Amino acid sequence: MREAAFTSWPASDAPTDRLDIIRARCPDIDPAMIADVVRAILATMTGDLSSKETALLSEVEELGRTIASAKAEIAAIRADDITGQHIPSATDELDAIVSHTASATNAILEVCETLDQAGGALQAQSAAQLQEATARIYEACSFQDITGQRITKVVATLKAIESKVAQIVAAFGPQDVALMSGPPPEAAIDPQAALLNGPQMAAAAMEQSEIDRLLASL
């Protein structure tokens, strides 16, 4: 009841006006005492926040606004689509490429095998020419193995990206689960796995002649 009595203040916010109202409504209370209490409270607050602390508080508030903004932006770009749709779709497409090139390569090899068989009925010179030609086709068909290994590396990279995006979504996304506690623990280094690098880009790859020299030097 007492609180309700003070909820309607006059348009003026001047402290003297308010003290007049208190004096009118509660004649037993000395407004000077109230003024003393307020002054005492204000006195205890003196020096609570230095200018440095005020600046820090401001920075913290700004940081809070930035985090809220980042969360809103992550939610808006629908990052979960990357893990739920885009990357699975990309890996499926890459798998399809491997499958289709394997089918095409096998069809080419089948034709070559037929030509090799037919070469048996030819004269020696013609048979040799045909065999040389099919050997070159066999060599060229090894592209399927190389591209397959390269695509496997790309798929592994995509899956790593998918995992990282999922962690970001979990930390900052709409679900707003607890922040990540830190980077994932380093996996133990497997000496066998460390040597599985797959095909190298042309600039980094060694030629057969370089490998021959290296082997001979060991």
Partner 1 sequence: MPIDKSMNVLIVDDYKTMLRIIRNLLKQIEFNNVDEATDGAEALSKLRAGSFGLVISDWNMVPMTGLQLLQEVRADARLKQLPFIMVTAESKTENVVAAKQAGVSNYIVKPFNAETLRDKIEKVLGHA
- What residues between 158 and 197 interact with partner 1 by CB under 8 A? 192, 195-197
Question: Residue from 12, 51, 123, 208 that binds partner 1 (CB under 8 A)?
Answer: 208
Question: Residue from 23, 31, 138, 174 that binds partner 1 (CB under 8 A)?
Answer: 138
Nearer to partner 1, 50 or 192 (CB): 192
3-class state of residue 13 by DSSP: coil
Cα–Cα distance measured from residue 100 to residue 94, given in angstroms and rounded to the nearest whole number: 10
Q: Applying CB under 8 A, does 206 fall inside the site for partner 1?
A: yes
**What is the gyration radius of the CA atoms in the chain, in angstroms?**
39
Question: By the 8 A CB rule, do 91 and 158 touch?
Answer: yes
Q: Applying CB under 8 A, does 199 fall inside the site for partner 1?
A: yes
Ordered DSSP codes for 109-122: HHHHHHHHHHHTTS
Q: Applying CB under 8 A, does 97 fall inside the site for partner 1?
A: no
Minimum distance of partner 1 from residue 205's CB (angstroms) = 5
For residue 169, give both structure tokens. 């979504």
Question: By the 8 A CB rule, do 71 and 177 touch?
Answer: no
Minimum distance of partner 1 from residue 207's CB (angstroms) = 8
State how far the alpha carbon of 111 is from the alpha carbons of 98, 103, 120, 125, in Å: 20, 13, 15, 21
Question: Residue from 148, 162, 165, 169 that binds partner 1 (CB under 8 A)?
Answer: 148
3-class state of residue 123 by DSSP: coil
Q: Applying CB under 8 A, does 135 fall inside the site for partner 1?
A: yes
Nearer to partner 1, 85 or 106 (CB): 106
Q: Applying CB under 8 A, does 207 fall inside the site for partner 1?
A: yes
Q: Which residue has the tokens 């099919």?
A: 134
Q: Applying CB under 8 A, does 96 fall inside the site for partner 1?
A: no
Minimum distance of partner 1 from residue 133's CB (angstroms) = 11
Cα–Cα distance measured from residue 50 to residue 211, given in angstroms and rounded to the nearest whole number: 70
Burial-class residue 34 by CB neighbours within 10 Å (0-12, 13-18, 19+): middle
Nearer to partner 1, 28 or 190 (CB): 190
Q: Applying CB under 8 A, does 115 fall inside the site for partner 1?
A: no
Residue ranges binding partner 1 (CB under 8 A) = 102, 105-106, 109, 112-113, 116, 131, 134-136, 138-139, 141-146, 148-149, 192, 195-200, 204-208, 211, 214-215, 218
